[in-house]
Amino acid sequence: MDVAGDIEIKTTCPRDCYDACGISVVVREGEIHKVKGDPDHAVTRGSLCQKCAIAYNGAFLDPGQRLAFPMKRVGKKGDAAFQAVTWNYALSDIAKRLEKMLSNRDPSTILHTHYTGTVSMIAGWFPMRFFNRLGATEVDPDTICNKAGHVVLEHMFGTSLTGFDPEQIAHAKTLLIWGGNPSSTAPHMHSDWIGSSQAKVIVIDPIAHETAQAADLYLQLRPGSDAALAFGLLHVIKREGLLDRAFLDAHTVGFDLVEPAIDAATPDVTAAKTGVPAGLIEDAAMQFGTGPALLWLGQGMQRQPRGGNAFRSAALLSVATGYLGRKGAGFCYMNGPETRGVDMDFITGEELRSDGGSSISHIDLADTLADPARASALFTWNNNVLASSPNQSKLRAALSREDLFTVVSDLFLTDTAAYADYVLPAASFFEFDDLIFPYFNNTMSAQTGAIPPLGESLPNQEIFRRLARRMGYEEPALYESDRSIIDRLMSQTSYDGDFEDLQAAGTVRLFDNPPIQFESLEFATPSGKIEVACESLQQMGQPLVPEPHADEESREGWLRVLSPASPWLMNSTYCNDRKIQSRMGAAKCFLAASELERRGLKDGDRVMLRNETGAVALEAAVSDAVPEGVALVYKGRWLGRSHRDANVNVLNIGLKADVAESTAVHGVAAELIPA
């Protein structure tokens, strides 16, 4: 119950989530008493998701869980034996070690990884200025998530970061959600935005998740058969005379080159390749092809061996019917801050990169770190690589290298932090101001600090300002204040007010009318048109035009392991919250009943998924949502400290997608055996 003297502060959830919920923090006598949804928020209307409602009142406020002091390693790597030290001691020693390294090693042997810890603008991006100045190698964050999709859309349409505005749903006849799971990853979009729309909903996904179950049409395809399905849908659209020839002639290059494959992709041929009944292919194509339609391109869909080709093929649907550039039509992968005018190079300090800088793929992280010639130091911030990245056993071994100088900044003592020489405590989003540009809705939000940082923890930006000072760097951009950055970012948008106005509102819309994707029908590609036939992708080793590919079935008796987002975790964040742990129960492998029966197993049995790189012990759980041939194991479990402990990424051999060195984690296969 609220009492007199309570102060309510509006802020915004900075997790890597489509929703960017408005939050109301109740502060009582200088401490956070309760964290709840902000009822004034136009999109999320007063509720938080189940995971944040628990963890923001649990682990995030628990001084027993949070890191409060810088710590120096005193035991073996991985043992998590640390001793508290002062900031002065930690930063001086880190700077000394870096300077020594720089005297005889190339700065590119210093690696840094960062990603989804917080997606607020300053804490998410400002530390890049330090690493750019240092000349460190960036472990390209998107390669662990969504890079294949980004690169393909950029080449085809000129951008991957300006999608449909969600408010366009008012004008759409159809919403097609392809390889995304809003019921877990965008819970308010699932319940409110999709739930209240008039548009007919089609879902294409191997897993019958809650959004799929609530859809008007659900196409349960075999994993990795998306391109084939797209061609099948295009076949029906073409056969029924629904191609917009005038649009295709005026605004695309090379559509004629995909037509022979479209003609060949009859519903029967497509049904055989994808496992989707021919009648459903017909129905979905007619629904999508006969009016303005929105296409939600999920990030899960492109995490497959030919994820780039799958994305190119699916995106053709938005092109074929000619509605692109009109109300209620278009696709969305995500809406970057760029959509609202923000210059990302400013926040990351691109001008501080001496020679363009080097980067590697997350998929190569373990191999690179294992090699003393390529890796002398590792900084990890906003990232829990041991839980999230592939080649888990190799990565654990590489992190154990005594001569790999490792610094981890986090809120919690993660599995990765246990390997650090120094652990630097980060302040949580409750503890400082920042700006947030949600990546689905075209809004802008304030993150407002409600209490001072816990113990001696500091916001990421302040940690790296202080380290820059120790290094003796002189560039003013390394020291720019939070307020100056906020003001400059806000000035790039159309918003008239100042940060105080934004704080009072929480979240503001930036467009009077929701923008129409590609309204001008100008495309920032070499041809100025949509590049169905794409020479720049061809130069990267891709086919000139997308192909109706479907993956081969897994090896006899093996299962395709899908490891998408859990409804209880945010990547690996919250896995240390005790209430969430009890809600999740044991780590599970969800399977069709027939897959268990075939192996003489039953629900609740201890089982093992095993392949050429490792094995993970799980509890078998029967699920109607999972098709035959698939094992569903949610990502993000913390591993534990023993060398035998693992999560699902122990099975990830480091498969790359066809484009951009990006992850193909949903292409992993394994055999199921009793534990």
Ligand X SMILES: Nc1nc2c(c(=O)[nH]1)N[C@H]1C(S)=C(S)[C@@H](COP(=O)(O)OP(=O)(O)OC[C@H]3O[C@@H](n4cnc5c(=O)[nH]c(N)nc54)[C@H](O)[C@@H]3O)O[C@H]1N2
Binding residues (CB under 6 A) for ligand X: these are: 16-17, 115-118, 123, 144-146, 178-181, 184-185, 204-207, 209, 223-224, 226, 298-301, 304, 381-384, 387-388, 409-412, 414, 426, 460, 562-567, 569-573, 635-636, 648-649, 652, 665-666
* C-beta closer to ligand X: residue 300 or 629: 300
Cα–Cα distance measured from residue 321 to residue 203, given in angstroms and rounded to the nearest whole number: 19
Footprint (CB under 5 A) of Mo ion, residues 525-554:
none
Interface with ligand SF4 (CB under 6 A), residue total: 12
Residue 619: CB minimum distance to ligand X, A: 18
b/e map 326-362, b = 16+ CB within 10 Å: bbbbbbbbbbbbebbbbebebbbbeebbeeebeebbb
Between strands 630-632 and 434-436, the pairing is unpaired
In the β-sheet with 377-381, what is the strand arrangement from edge to edge? 82-84, 71-73, 422-425, 405-410, 377-381, 110-114, 137-140, 359-361
Shortest distance, position 187 Cβ to ligand SF4, whole Å: 5
48 or 669: CB nearest ligand SF4: 48
Q: What distance in Å separates the CA atoms of residue 106 and residue 137, rounded to the nearest whole number?
A: 10
Token duo for residue 346: 């400013």
Least distance (Å) between residue 462 CB and ligand SF4 = 24
Closest distance of CB 21 from ligand SF4, Å: 3
- Report the C-alpha gap between 22 and 590 in whole angstroms: 33
Can you give the length of the chain in residues? 675
Which does residue 20 touch among ligand X, Mo ion, ligand SF4, none (CB within 5 to 8 A, set by kind)?
Answer: ligand SF4
Distance (Å, whole) CA 306 – CA 324: 25
Q: Which does 48 bind (CB under 5 to 8 A by kind): Mo ion, ligand X, ligand SF4, none?
A: ligand SF4
- Residue 192 CB coordination number (10 Å): 15
| CA–CA gap between residue 21 and residue 5 (Å, rounded) | 25
Please name which of 217, 233, 236, 238 lies closest in space to residue 173, comparing C-alpha atoms.
217
**Residue 52 interacts with ligand SF4 (CB under 6 A)?**
yes
Q: Which of 441, 458, 422 is nearest to 90 (CA)?
A: 422
Minimum distance from residue 141 beta carbon to Mo ion (Å): 9
Q: Binding string to Mo ion for residues 80 to 119, with x set by CB under 5 A, is what?
A: ----------------------------------------
Contact predicate 304/223, CB 8 Å: yes
What contacts 24+ positions apart, CB below 8 Å, involve 265-272?
A: 265/228, 265/231, 265/232, 265/234, 265/235, 265/548, 266/232, 266/235, 267/232, 267/235, 267/236, 269/232, 270/228, 270/229, 270/231, 270/232, 270/235, 270/548, 271/232
**Residue in the structure block whose two tokens are 């268990």:** 596
User: Which of 48, 194, 230, 398: binder of ligand SF4 (CB under 6 A)?
Assistant: 48
Q: How far is the CB of 6 from ligand X (least distance, A)?
A: 26
Of the candidate spans 89-97, 145-153, 591-599, 661-669, the one that interacts with Mo ion by CB under 5 A turns out to be 145-153
Q: Which does 21 bind (CB under 5 to 8 A by kind): ligand X, ligand SF4, Mo ion, none?
A: ligand SF4
Binding part of the chain for Mo ion, among 50-58, 144-152, 170-178, 459-467 by CB under 5 A, reads: 144-152
Rounded Cα distance, 97 and 471, in Å: 10
Binding mask 529-548 for ligand SF4 (x = CB under 6 A): --------------------
User: How many other C-beta atoms can be found within 10 angstroms of the C-beta atom of residue 141?
Assistant: 18
Helix H or strand E segment including 308: helix 307-320
Residue 410: which of ligand SF4, ligand X, Mo ion, none does it interact with, CB under 5 to 8 A by kind? ligand X
Q: How far apart are CA 381 and CA 383, in angstroms?
A: 5
Residue 348 binds which entry of ligand SF4, ligand X, Mo ion, none, CB below 5-8 Å type-dependent: none
Say how far apart CA 300 and CA 180 lie, in whole Å: 6
Cβ–Cβ contacts within 10 Å for residue 183, how many? Answer: 20
Contact between 524 and 637 under an 8 Å Cβ cutoff? The reply is: no
Judged by CB under 6 A, which stretch of 12-20, 64-72, 94-102, 305-313 contacts ligand SF4? Answer: 12-20
Considering the complex, what minimum distance in angstroms separates the CB of residue 52 from ligand SF4?
4
Pick from 9, 10, 11, 15 the residue near ligand SF4 by CB under 6 A. Answer: 15
Given the complex with ligand X, which of 525 and 595 has the nearer CB atom? 595
**Contact (CB, 8 A) for 158 and 185:** no
Residue 52 binds which entry of Mo ion, ligand X, ligand SF4, none, with Cβ cut-offs from 5 to 8 Å by kind?
Answer: ligand SF4
Positive or negative: CA dihedral 574, 575, 581, 586: positive
Total of residues contacting Mo ion (CB under 5 A): 1
Instruction: Answer yes or no whether residue 145 interacts with Mo ion by CB under 5 A.
Output: yes
Task: Enumerate residues 349-408 that contact ligand SF4 by CB under 6 A.
Answer: none
315 binds, among ligand SF4, Mo ion, ligand X, none (CB under 5 to 8 A by kind): none
Q: Which is nearer to Mo ion, 186 or 404 (CB)?
A: 186
Per CB under 6 A, which of residues 148..207 are in contact with ligand SF4?
187-188
166 vs 187 by CB, closer to ligand SF4: 187
Q: What is the DSSP string of 572-609?
A: TBTTT-HHHHHHH-S-EEEE-HHHHHHTT--TT-EEEE
Least distance to ligand X from the beta carbon of 649, Å?
Answer: 5
Of 13 and 387, CB closest to ligand SF4? 13
Which one, 505 or 632, has the nearer CB to ligand X? 632
Q: Whole-number minimum distance, CB 332 to ligand X, in Å?
A: 12
- Distance of closest approach, residue 566 Cβ to ligand X, in angstroms: 6
Using the rule CB under 6 A, is 13 a contact of ligand SF4?
Answer: yes
Q: Is the Cα torsion angle 436, 354, 113, 476 positive or negative in sign?
A: negative
431 binds, among ligand SF4, ligand X, Mo ion, none (CB under 5 to 8 A by kind): none
CB of 570 to ligand SF4, least distance (A): 6
List interacting residues with Mo ion (CB under 5 A).
145
Residues that bind ligand SF4 (CB under 6 A): 13, 15, 17, 19-21, 48-49, 52, 187-188, 570
